[in-house]
A and B are shown apart, each in its own frame.
Chain A
């Protein structure tokens, strides 16, 4: 079936540095790509999303880029802070499942102060 691959599985950065998480997807019909942040003991929370008619979207310190030709999208966090430490999930809408979301395996981000 269609899937979403996410890398790296863990990422440690120094406070103030940038963090980049990358995802690839297999369904060329996918048109919606959200990113979720999950803090310990909580459910995932949407932090930013992008649609297939847009190449880049930015919201303060976070940005997402999309390359539909290569079928990959990335999350960029600049000026990282300790409160950015969490698990981040990418997802893509997959036509095979009625345009429901298929998630990547997640990235544990640790920001060291």
Chain B
């Protein structure tokens, strides 16, 4: 596996509480992504980063924020968790943007978040 570690791997939290998920990489890849995976929807991009302190929104960014203060860490924060944010969250990394020639994206093992 590529050097990607997601933490925690499982979390149960209550509605209205803040939650932070961490993605840590040892590959020194510039690009990092947060996806959520839900039945019937595949993977949907939440936010991505193209460098330290450089982030942008994906297709389902409402209710989420991110930060990247170091190359190796990309944090996803749910400011006030809601039941609709119950999902499996995946971090991915790539050397170049996905559409660049020869670029492969490597995914972490996922974080299962349950909001009750």
Beyond A89-B42, A89-B43, A106-B42, whether A100 also contacts B108 by CB under 8 A is no
Q: Smallest CB-CB separation from A4: which chain B residue?
A: B42
Contacts of B41 in A (CB 8 A): 105
Beyond A43-B90, A43-B109, whether A93 also contacts B45 by CB under 8 A is no
Binds B, one of A44-52, A55-63, A66-74: A44-52
Chain B: residues with Cβ within 8 Å of the partner, total of: 25
B90 touches A44 (CB 8 A): yes
Q: Give bound CA distance, A4 to B101, whole Å.
A: 21
**What's the least CB distance linking B54 to chain A, in Å?**
12
A43 touches B107 (CB 8 A): yes
Contacts of B48 in A (CB 8 A): 100
Partner of B109, one of A42, A91, A93: A42
Q: Which residues of chain B (27-56) have a CB below 8 Å from chain A?
A: 33, 35, 40-45, 48, 56
Interface residues of B (CB under 8 A from A): 4, 33, 35, 40-45, 48, 56, 58-59, 90, 92, 97-99, 101, 104-105, 107-110
9 contacts between A and B (CB under 8 A): A42-B110, A45-B107, A91-B43, A98-B97, A99-B97, A99-B98, A101-B98, A101-B105, A105-B40
* Nearest 10 A/B pairs, CB to CB: A43-B107, A103-B42, A93-B99, A32-B99, A103-B43, A99-B99, A105-B42, A101-B98, A44-B107, A46-B104
Kindly list 10 other residue pairs between chains A and B, CB separation below 8 angstroms, not including A34-B105, A51-B101, A93-B99.
A6-B42, A43-B4, A43-B90, A43-B110, A44-B90, A44-B107, A100-B97, A102-B59, A103-B42, A104-B42
